[in-house]
Amino acid sequence: MKIILYEHNDDAAPWLQDLSRALPEADVRVWEPGDTAPADYAVVWRAPRELFANRPDLKAVFNLGAGVDAILDIERKEPGTLPPNALLVRLEDSGMSQQMVEYAVYTVLRYLRRMDEYDALQREHRWEKLEPHARSTFTVGVLGMGVLGARVAQSLTTLGVPVRGFSRTKREIEGVQTFAGAGQFDAFLDGAKMLINLLPHTPDTEGILNARAFERLAPGAYLVNLARGPHVVDNDLLQAMKSGQIAAAALDVFHQEPLPDNHPFWTTPRIEITPHVAAITLREESIEQIALKIRALTRGEPISGIVDAKRGY
Ligand code: NDP
Ligand code: OXD
């Protein structure tokens, strides 16, 4: 069995070493431009188009992340690039949901207790007590009730704030008021004090966090974007912050990454930025999951985590 590996962020060497160790029966190599030698599987993160083109031999492409938007974008721009019979498989949790829970709980508590405002007051040496937010009306809406969103929503119920969830199909999660489909989007948004975005980036979800959505929230609402930059219409967010409709935002993902030096988000008061680290891909857990799936496919068994390219996630 032959596997090609491509890792955009890191040095590929530790991935090569660990994947080879997990699958000693496989011949694993790091893909370099020009490599068209046969391969059964590809394990990739943000690989270039050339890796996928003219590769009818690939049985499956394993994405080293939960979101497959970068791969599907290649296919959208140049249809027919992805091997037609290869499965596209995403990471399912592999240690990411715990990290998302940490980020979400941290931001809910930070904004509920107005800690970001106390930080600012401290910088000005001001001893000032702020009116606390009422927990009972601090409604948090989680967009996306998948592997990550459902776990986040569930964990937020323990904080005593009302929690809503939004997905395409109806989900039942104890303690979470769930809404499904575009027809229930407004009801999901109406009066929510905070939104946490964990949707996949698809043509249907692009720009979903826009002026119209912000208007439906409670005045002085909070936005936490942990999914993908193109979910947010940047100018609409800046306007909503200027008017006070959105009080503060914690953003982990952006249209362009790294966030360009001249982007106004860097200097907008009450926007907090992290560099796409809400849930990082953990090497050990991810390789274990992928190795198990490759072995299952080799035995002709079904696997989970297969992306429906038409649906986009
Ligand atoms: P899943 O595929 O498990 O869940 C996606 C959820 O979104 C599902 O509940 C799905 O609905 C819902 N959904 C999809 N399209 C729509 C739509 N048009 N309208 C309403 N709901 C919709 O994904 P994960 O939970 O594993 O990951 C979510 C995203 O998080 C990833 O795609 C990625 O972009 C982002 N991410 C970001 C990271 C970071 O570090 N910042 C790290 C990891 C992931 P249904 O349940 O009905 O199918
Ligand atoms: C992912 C990511 O999709 O890291 O896994 O953003």
Of the ligands numbered here, which is closest to the C-alpha atom of 229?
Answer: 1
| Burial profile 193-206: b = 16 or more Cβ within 10 angstroms, e = fewer | bbbbbbbbbbeebb
Residues 191 and 113 in one domain: yes
Instruction: Give a yes or no: residue 310 inside a domain.
Output: no
Query: Which of 46, 164, 198 has most ligand 1 atoms within 8 Å of its beta carbon, as the pocket-test mutant?
Result: 198
Domain assignment present for 312: no
Catalytic site residue 76?
A: no
Domain membership flag for residue 197:
yes
Radius of gyration of the chain (CA): 21
* 44 and 80 part of one domain: yes
Q: Which amino acid is it at 73? A: D
Mean pLDDT for all residues in the chain = 97
145 plus 175 within the same structural domain: yes
* pLDDT at position 253: 98
Tell me the CATH number at 69.
3.40.50.720
Considering the domain boundaries, does residue 71 fall inside one?
yes
What does the alpha-carbon distance between residue 89 and residue 304 come to, in Å, rounded to a whole number? 8
Band (pLDDT 50/70/90 cuts) for residue 8 is confident
pLDDT tens, 76-130?
999 999 998 999 999 999 999 999 999 999 999 999 999 999 999 999 999 999 9
> Which residue spans within the chain are E strands per DSSP?
2-7, 27-30, 41-45, 60-63, 87-89, 140-143, 163-167, 176-180, 194-197, 221-225, 246-251, 271-273
**Can you name the residues that pair with 63 across neighbouring β-strands?**
44
Cα–Cα distance, 186 to 235 (Å, whole number): 21
**For the whole model, what pTM was predicted?**
0.97
144 Cα: distance to centroid of ligand 1 (angstroms) = 5
Domain boundary among 273, 290, 308: 273
> Can you give the residue range of the structural domain that contains 239?
96-273
Ligand 1 atom, smallest distance to 278 CA? 40
Query: Which ligand has its closest atom nearest to the C-alpha of 184?
Result: 1
Residues 154 and 286 in one domain: no
- Cβ of 104 below 6 Å from ligand 1: no
Note whether 242 and 162 are same-domain residues.
Answer: yes
How far is 126 from 183, CA to CA, in rounded Å?
46
What is the distance in A from the centroid of ligand 1 to the CA of 165?
A: 12
Our measurement of the distance from residue 250's CA atom to the centroid of its chain's CA atoms, rounded to an integer in Å, reads: 14
Nearest CA to ligand 2 atom 4: 65
In a shared domain, residues 140 and 261: yes
Say if 306 falls within a structural domain.
no
Average pLDDT over residues 140-163: 98
Residues 165 and 294 in one domain: no
Q: Are residues 153 and 260 in the same domain?
A: yes
Tokens at 273, concatenated: 């930025």
Choosing from 55, 90, 151, 276, the catalytic residue is 276
How far apart are alpha carbons 7 and 223 in whole angstroms? 30
Residue 133 domain-assigned (yes or no): yes
Catalytic residue among 228, 270, 283, 311: 228
- Does residue 65 line the site of ligand 2, with CB under 6 A? yes
Instruction: Give the pLDDT confidence of 193-249 residue by residue, as tens digits.
Output: 999 999 999 999 999 999 999 999 999 999 999 999 999 999 999 999 999 999 999
Active site residue 8: no
Considering the domain architecture, whether residues 127 and 201 belong to the same structural domain is answered as: yes
pLDDT on residue 9: 76
**For the chain, what is the domain count?**
2
Same structural domain, 135 and 219: yes
Residues 88 and 185 in one domain: no
- 115 and 213 within one domain: yes
Q: What's the whole-number mean pLDDT along residues 47-74?
A: 96
Decide if 249 is inside a domain. Answer: yes
